[in-house]
Amino acid sequence: MGGFFLHQVAGKSWYDTYNMKSLKKTGKSKDKTPPSKEETRSGLIIIGLLVLFILLTIASGFWQTLAMYFLFGAIYLAYRAVRYKDTRRASVIWSLVLFVACGVAMPSVEQTTQEANVAKPQSTDTAKTVEADKPKEGVFYQVAGITDGDTIKVQIGSKTEKVRLIGIDTPETQNKKQCYGKEASSKMQSLAQSKKIRLEADTTQDDRDKYGRLLRFVFLEDGTDVGKMLISEGYAHEYTYSKPYKYAGEYKLVESDAKVRSLGFWAANTCNSNTEQTPEAAVQAIQVKKKADDEAAAQAAAAAAARAQQQQAAAAEAARQQQAAQQAQAAQAQQQQAASSVYYKNCTAARAAGAAPVYRGQPGYASHLDRDDDGIGCE
């Protein structure tokens, strides 16, 4: 723009002046004729450039605007040096001069900006607003929204700050969906949404995380530690980022208890402690496990029925054998009773009764009838 401005003011005669060819052309013309259309156009362009310079100076500052004009002028003259051979030498030299001037003016821009920022007094109202926007200990603030299970939005003065709870980590719902993330967010919403909470900083932790969120413990008006409650009911893991925090011992203790009691995402029918998986994968895993459990139960029931049937058959066989033994014992007892009721004084009596020979076990058998003890009497 600077080069174009110079060119429009002096025209081609400006380059001729530099080359010491025509000094007279730079003077005022004594011709009283009205200006031509070319002169009128050049005048309007010059006025426009001046107005633009003034506006840019107001908006960006004098030095910054001047440096920008120098830069555009240098570029314009470099273009003319390439296109017009008759003024190439002058264009190259003045282009270099404007580039150097732009470089000299740029430090002044930064210095002017810093001086303006230092010199500008901060209004009393602005100072009060900044002070009110700083979170304070012991003050209760309104919860403006819930981001997820471990991050909330809190109204602090005129600003809405995101607050990341120290010492906990809940399953994700934003960038990636994890098992029990939705339940953790719902739990946080039921605990804190639109309620008054107290923020507590920890000197062992940073004031903010890498995402610009405030790092704080969060307490309800009744003194409930929100982070601790989420861990104790299985909605959050205990989480130590780099250095141990103030309540680390308590948080780890309640996490161990939640594990033992299989609460929340520790339960087999939710995430089975694996919150890294997606909710869909968790549901599928539960269905697979249920199917396997059902098949195992069916197999166990069939095996139990088979064992019961075998036991029943064995019991029936034992009863049959017992009954047969009892019957044999009864028959033997009858025989013994019958044998004991028949008595032969000698073999003559046995023969007379038609019982000889008498075999051992038969009625009437006795040792006095069987002298050789071969089991046959009166042979």
Q: Which residues are catalytic?
A: 164, 172, 213
User: Residue 321 in contact with residue 336, Cβ under 8 Å?
Assistant: no
Residue 360, token pair as written in the block = 């051992």
Give the three-state DSSP class for 164: strand
Number of helices followed by number of strands (H, E) in the chain? 11, 9
**Six-digit token string for 88:** 């190439």
SS3 124: helix
CA distances from 214 to 164, 231, 335 (A): 6, 20, 105
How many residues belong to the chain?
379
Cβ neighbours of 207 (radius 10 Å): 11
Residues 6 or more apart whose CB falls under 8 angstroms from that of 195 comprise 142, 143, 220, 221
Question: Which residue from 80, 109, 77 is spatially nearest to 96, judged by alpha carbons?
Answer: 77
> Cβ–Cβ contacts within 10 Å for residue 267, how many?
15
Position 77, amino acid: L
Q: Which residues contact 65 (CB under 8 A, 6 or more apart)?
A: 53, 56, 57
Among left, alpha and beta (phi > 0; psi -120 to 50; other), residue 146 is beta
Q: How far is CA 134 from CA 158, 205, 315, in A?
A: 10, 17, 84
Q: Report residue 159 as tokens.
A: 């600003």
| CA–CA separation, 109 and 207 (whole Å) | 34
Burial of 314: CB neighbours in 10 Å, binned 0-12, 13-18, 19+: exposed
Distance CA 322, CA 315 (A): 10
Sign (positive or negative) of CA dihedral 131, 137, 138, 139: positive
